[in-house]
Structure 1
Amino acid sequence: MAEETRSEFHRFWRAVLALSVVTICALPGVARAWQFDTGIPDLTVQWDNTVRYNLGIRAEDCDPNICGNGKGAGDVTAHQSDSKFAKAGDIVQNRIDLVSELNVIYKNDTGVRVSGTGWYDFAYAGGPSGDPFFLSQGINAFPNNKYTSYIDRWNNGPSGQLLDAFAFTKFNIGSVPISVKLGQHEIYWGESLFCFVCGVAYNQGPVDIRKAMTDPGAQAQELFLPRPQISFSAALPYNLTLAGQYFFDWQASHLPDGGTYFGPADFFTLGGGTVVPILGVPTNFVGKQNPDHQTGDFGIALKWHPEWLDGTAGFYYREYTTTFPQMVIDGVSNGVLNVGLNYNAPRERMFAFSLSKQIAGISFGSDLTYRTNAELSAYPFANVIQQNLSGADWIPRGDVFTAVANMVAFVGKTPIFDSATFTAEVNYAGLQKVTHDPYSLYYGLAQNCGSDGVATHHGCPTRNAVGIAVQFMPIWYGVGPGMNLSMPLFVGVGLSGNSPVMFGDNQGQGSYSIGLSLDIQQQYTVSLKYNGFLALHSNDSLGAASFSNSSLGKYWDRNWVSLTLEGKF
């Protein structure tokens, strides 16, 4: 997107955001959707808006082994992220969001859909913070102690993002009904509920990991972002459905930025422009480096739902480019070392199977995938210059098997609650073999990452890993006029090993939440949640060398409380 276009887009969303706030305040009883009378038979135009306010409050003081004590005892890689809001009670989120959706549909089968989101977070109106001792020694990831424009855009705003922008239609070829979508949209295959790297949908689109961090228990499909593509679905005879997609563009997954409350490392940001203070030489972090191949990813699916099965079996083949990065040293310019996020791995191939079925009133789902040419984690800051490497030949790859199985059960009225849902999911990832690692850069257990048991606690990928996620949500109806109350409880944690799949589960690492949510007339929602992190991490004696067994960063002290107010208009 050209800079001028982006600027106009941001100004547009600022105006829409301000207008929506005024509308909500002035017209609290407005209908949940705007239906326009077009005067044209069979033409429907509907505009929906959701406005959400989030207030987040830190639950405990920052660990001095991360934030420091003014004497150099903190963590040089994370002190600015964790110190941004260092004390219990500090406001870590003070944010208003707008999601706007426009649907134009003719005869229920042809039309366009456009949606977007805008935001502003008052909590990030200032710049980054940090330990005074480190800052006095020049250990600062941010030039002039200011956020980069990228970090400011995605965390402070006001700013916005286009989501859906596609046209769709339905038609018949002979007796076969076919539906087609063209433009930016999201397709999610498979049955995985919580694990976004375990199932058929792995890398089917970029993942909003920022949202995953701020919303424990969010289902995987909610985290996937739309991507420019053409997709189709055809209802064939013999209870078969054929579907496919072809991508016109590539986008990286959205990752939390350094210097923010959920920043994994102070210098870490897709936008670059920060400084890496831990390598002992002047080092620039240049951010995201796009892959050479940004078009051509595709997938094909065949679903079979015979009567005797009383369920649906799916068979899939996909070729895709990873949306998750490798951190590499990317050369020297003017005496300064450059470090970046490399996405230039060759396409992976996936052969997959899914099954969904109801048994005794319980919904069961499962995905099995076998991935060849799968990208494996390289040793951090893999030095492609010293190794005299080029292109993507240096990236370690292998064959990986993953499996996920889940269940959703509905519980009827009891003396304690009116109804409830229980959802549980187990996932597995196993490295079958390393097929390409000519420079021994794979950051696996017993290869670049040590062979003792402690290495597992350092986050080293192991050959096998198992994780689990459980959600229980009791509901009470009619607690007030048009009001229903629910209590979502969630925990997700790695049980054994560290996943060889990027952003998979790590042993002892996870998150949990407990909350209350009040639904008012199916239009307004008020939610209060306590959000926590589970972590294996170092003891206090390690100080600045503190580590976490995590796919991202050091979150063991970043529990927080969130209050959400949401209205649909």
Structure 2
Amino acid sequence: MKQNLRNGFYKKPLALSIAAAMITLATANVQAKNFQLGDFDISFDSTFSAGTSWRVEDRNWNDNVGKSNNINNGFDFSQYHPILNVNPNAATVWNGAGSYSTNSDNGNLNYDAGKTFSKLIKGSHDLDIRYENLGFFARGMYFYDFEMMDESRAWVNPSSAKVNDPCRDDDARDQLCRDIRLLDAFVYGDFDIGEMPFSVRVGQQVISWGESTLISHGISELNPVDIARLKAPGAELKEAFIPFGAVWASLGVSENFNIEMFYQYSWEKTVLPAPGSYFSTNDFAGDGGQFNNVQLNFASNPDMDLDSLVTNLNALRAQILNGNVAMADAAGAYVGGFPTKLTLRQEDAENDPENGGQYGLRLSWFLPELNDTEVSLYHMNYHSRRPVFSGITADFGAEALGHDVAMLATTEITLDNYTDLQAFSRVELDYIEDIKLYALSFNTAIGTTSVAGEVTFRQDEPLQIDDVELLFAAMPQQLANDLGRTELDGISQMPVFQGGERANGYILSDTIQAQVTLTHLWGPSFGASQLTTLLEVGGIDIRDMPDQDVLRLNGPGTGRNGGIAGKEGLEIALQDGVETNPFPSAFAWGYRFVGKLDYNNVFAGINISPKIVFSHDVNGITPDPLFLFVEDRKSMSLGLGFDYQSRWSADLSYNSFFDGVGTTNQLEDRDYVSFNIKYSI
């Protein structure tokens, strides 16, 4: 009998009902092409699809677009110059509508209502070759998005006059626009050790541990995710999970006790949405973010992207060479025009962890006497799949400024050498090593309802310090350190760092997360042959959350800091007041609901399945990079699926994002419709 490539030998009495509830992003139930070649059993299946998604809601200019990028404010930046003409000035811009950050709106500005943001074709193929008790499994996929590759975006940067292109960066292009990629590729074998069945896999693989279905950051955090693939038309989980190099083994010690272990020898990261893609809410974190820079000054000046920065630096260089700017004055002009207005995000800004040192153990018991309950205990040591931001502080000391002015006087600034400038602050993306996880999971049945859940304890999990506190430490504090701006001394909740020093932008904290999933198959209902519902409720507690008056952590929509103790006057001068959105809390929770009706053979052998997915973050806000709950945020997807003989299928859905405290729901204006059609053989 062919091995189940996703699970070990432990019994999963609820697997079928849980899988039935996974009605979004589900893999089509197709029969693979099976044939024999000598003593080899070969299975090969393929899925081809075409789909499109288009925006159906206009931008919320008042809340989700930076003030200086809001065209409804009528600001004219055509004569703006970072040194010679900074009009409209900060006071004028701050009186306009919009948010106090232009670091999160490219994904909003790039797409007009009524326009497509994806027109995608893709294919995926699974190959399984088995010889007796040994085998090889591989999965590959390819895609091409005509909208992203061949069409133009809606937004033109006001400083560089260039269209923002999310596909400009090679890595971002592979994630979002077109790619051919190998996913799983591993060898496996089934053996007997005495009377104990033993299974092993070696290679690129996904390890399916845990019971969570819709709420992330549980035990399944082990598997990194490609978010662009997860949001694509016709998305399938097998394409979204990123396989990693590992050795996995399972030993059936007895009929009711199983041991699983893995050692990961190749680290992989979760792929963030590329800056400027439809679902992105950060303009610099993902691949390609180096072209946008990190904008300072709370949206009081127009975005200065990398092209604009290089152009303006060379314009200053020309003024120095022409004698229009004396060398003695060049440093002041340079500081006022550039490193006080933006932070650099270099292409190589990611600090990847070591590949090795990641492992896990799972002990599973099947308990027939407790209504066929399965209980599992876990321990893992892994490196974070999600980044946190740290920084290199600006350096306004005489040596650094002398170096930069000399470089301007002697060298043309290009995309290849701009990172040699020393005065700029820089953002770095850290992936923290050695997070320890201890967990328990169960699945059982109570009456006719399947019940599953998990509790996860993490030790030393990284949590992001509020990005404004990090930026205050990285730039204004350095004006106090080196250029006599004493009023700016100590404005950040972070410690005082000297120029050019590294500032870690995170804390390590212990967290506890719990969630429970209820799945019920109702049988014939509303004229359908089957009604399936799923309810998943989860919450997370930050065990040693700092008080907000000591250290605030980062959450969505917090474009300003929460107050500068003892320097209240600076709150107006620097950022036009204090942040009104709430910052992350120690506890947060929410729930997810799924409902699906299956109407079989409605006409000509076609099955139709209407479905609804509803999400509600009830209370509290989780700090980055957990991305779990944002108080009062809701989303809903209404879909209609069609299936013909498990070969042809199609899905049409309307997806809505709404509510949220203040302006913390950064996707609330990005409702969209998606359609795809698939053929599987």
Whether these two folds match at TM > 0.5 is yes
Match of 2:592 in 1: 469
The whole-number CA distance in structure 2 between the counterparts of 1:219 and 1:155 is 15
**Pairwise CA distance, 1:358:** 1.3
The whole-number CA distance in structure 1 between the counterparts of 2:438 and 2:670 is 39
Match of 1:23 in 2: none
Match of 2:196 in 1: 176
Match of 2:516 in 1: 405
Equivalent of residue 668 in structure 2, options 553, 556, 563 = 556
The whole-number CA distance in structure 2 between the counterparts of 1:508 and 1:219 is 28
Match of 2:680 in 1: 568
Equivalent of residue 328 in structure 1, options 386, 390, 394 = 390
- Residue range with higher mean Cα deviation, 239-248 or 321-330: 321-330
Match of 2:125 in 1: 100
**Map 1:13-92 → 2, pairs under 5 A:** 33-38=32-37, 40-41=38-39, 43-65=40-62, 66=65, 68-69=70-71, 71-72=74-75, 76-87=102-113, 89-92=114-117
Q: CA distance change for structure 1 residues 463 and 80 in 2, over 3 Å: closer, same or farther?
A: closer
* Residues 1:147 and 2:258 are matched in the alignment: no
The whole-number CA distance in structure 1 between the counterparts of 2:442 and 2:593 is 20
Match of 1:370 in 2: 457
Match of 1:354 in 2: 441
**Pairwise CA distance, 1:436:** 13
Match of 1:229 in 2: 246
Match of 2:491 in 1: none
CA deviation map 1:303-329 (0-9, x unaligned):
011221221001111111111111232
The whole-number CA distance in structure 1 between the counterparts of 2:421 and 2:152 is 27
Equivalent of residue 293 in structure 1, options 354, 361, 364 = 354
**Map 1:517-528 → 2, pairs under 5 A:** 517-528=641-652
**Map 1:199-348 → 2, pairs under 5 A:** 199-202=218-221, 204-214=222-232, 223-237=240-254, 239-276=256-293, 278-279=295-296, 280-286=340-346, 289-309=350-370, 310-330=372-392, 333-335=420-422, 337=424, 339-348=426-435
CA deviation map 1:222-266 (0-9, x unaligned):
853211100111101261100011101111101111122222133
**Pairwise CA distance, 1:387:** 2.8
Match of 2:159 in 1: 137
The whole-number CA distance in structure 1 between the counterparts of 2:502 and 2:253 is 43
One-letter code aligned to 2:586: R
**Map 1:405-484 → 2, pairs under 5 A:** 405-434=516-545, 440=551, 442-443=553-554, 449=562, 458=581, 460-484=583-607
Q: Give secondary structure in 2 for the equivalent of 1:119.
A: strand
Match of 2:208 in 1: 188
Match of 1:167 in 2: 187
* Residues 1:387 and 2:497 are matched in the alignment: yes
Q: How many residues align?
A: 513
One-letter code aligned to 1:284: L
Q: TM-score, normalised by structure 2?
A: 0.69
CA deviation map 1:260-289 (0-9, x unaligned):
222213334234432225225343322551
Match of 2:23 in 1: none
The whole-number CA distance in structure 1 between the counterparts of 2:592 and 2:161 is 38
Q: CA distance change for structure 1 residues 312 and 559 in 2, over 3 Å: closer, same or farther?
A: same
**Map 1:102-117 → 2, pairs under 5 A:** 102-107=127-132, 109-117=133-141
Paired residues of 1:457 and 1:549 also in contact (CA < 8 A): no
Match of 1:541 in 2: none
Q: Give secondary structure in 1 for the equivalent of 2:345.
A: strand
The whole-number CA distance in structure 2 between the counterparts of 1:321 and 1:172 is 33
Paired residues of 1:285 and 1:340 also in contact (CA < 8 A): yes
Match of 2:22 in 1: none
The whole-number CA distance in structure 2 between the counterparts of 1:284 and 1:225 is 29
* Residues 1:118 and 2:118 are matched in the alignment: no
**Pairwise CA distance, 1:80:** 3.1
Match of 1:513 in 2: 637
The whole-number CA distance in structure 2 between the counterparts of 1:395 and 1:343 is 9
**Pairwise CA distance, 1:443:** 4.1
Q: CA distance change for structure 1 residues 408 and 341 in 2, over 3 Å: closer, same or farther?
A: farther
Q: Aligned-pair RMSD on alpha carbons?
A: 3.4
Paired residues of 2:552 and 2:583 also in contact (CA < 8 A): no
Paired residues of 1:371 and 1:399 also in contact (CA < 8 A): yes
Paired residues of 2:167 and 2:173 also in contact (CA < 8 A): no
One-letter code aligned to 2:377: F
Paired residues of 1:525 and 1:567 also in contact (CA < 8 A): yes
Q: Give secondary structure in 2 for the equivalent of 1:421.
A: strand
Q: Point out the structure with max Rg over C-alpha.
A: 2
**Pairwise CA distance, 1:196:** 1.6
* Residues 1:504 and 2:628 are matched in the alignment: yes
Q: Give secondary structure in 2 for the equivalent of 1:162.
A: strand
**Pairwise CA distance, 1:337:** 3.0
The whole-number CA distance in structure 2 between the counterparts of 1:436 and 1:560 is 38
The whole-number CA distance in structure 2 between the counterparts of 1:104 and 1:426 is 40
Q: CA distance change for structure 1 residues 470 and 444 in 2, over 3 Å: closer, same or farther?
A: closer
One-letter code aligned to 1:564: N
The whole-number CA distance in structure 1 between the counterparts of 2:203 and 2:341 is 45
Q: CA distance change for structure 1 residues 508 and 354 in 2, over 3 Å: closer, same or farther?
A: same
One-letter code aligned to 1:90: K
One-letter code aligned to 2:223: G
Instruction: Give the structure with the larger helix fraction.
Output: 2
**Pairwise CA distance, 1:155:** 1.8
Q: CA distance change for structure 1 residues 396 and 444 in 2, over 3 Å: closer, same or farther?
A: farther
Q: CA distance change for structure 1 residues 443 and 64 in 2, over 3 Å: closer, same or farther?
A: closer
**Pairwise CA distance, 1:483:** 1.4
Q: Sequence identity, in percent?
A: 22
**Pairwise CA distance, 1:392:** 9.2
**Pairwise CA distance, 1:404:** 0.4
**Pairwise CA distance, 1:396:** 0.3
**Pairwise CA distance, 1:205:** 1.9
Q: CA distance change for structure 1 residues 222 and 512 in 2, over 3 Å: closer, same or farther?
A: farther
Q: CA distance change for structure 1 residues 167 and 420 in 2, over 3 Å: closer, same or farther?
A: same
The whole-number CA distance in structure 2 between the counterparts of 1:412 and 1:424 is 17
Paired residues of 1:177 and 1:234 also in contact (CA < 8 A): yes
The whole-number CA distance in structure 1 between the counterparts of 2:526 and 2:353 is 60
CA deviation map 1:129-166 (0-9, x unaligned):
4555xx333487959x9722222222222x12221010
CA deviation map 1:434-456 (0-9, x unaligned):
5999x9574489997569xx999
Match of 2:9 in 1: none
Q: Give secondary structure in 2 for the equivalent of 1:317.
A: strand
CA deviation map 1:393-445 (0-9, x unaligned):
763011111100011100111343221100010001001125999x9574489
The whole-number CA distance in structure 1 between the counterparts of 2:451 and 2:109 is 44
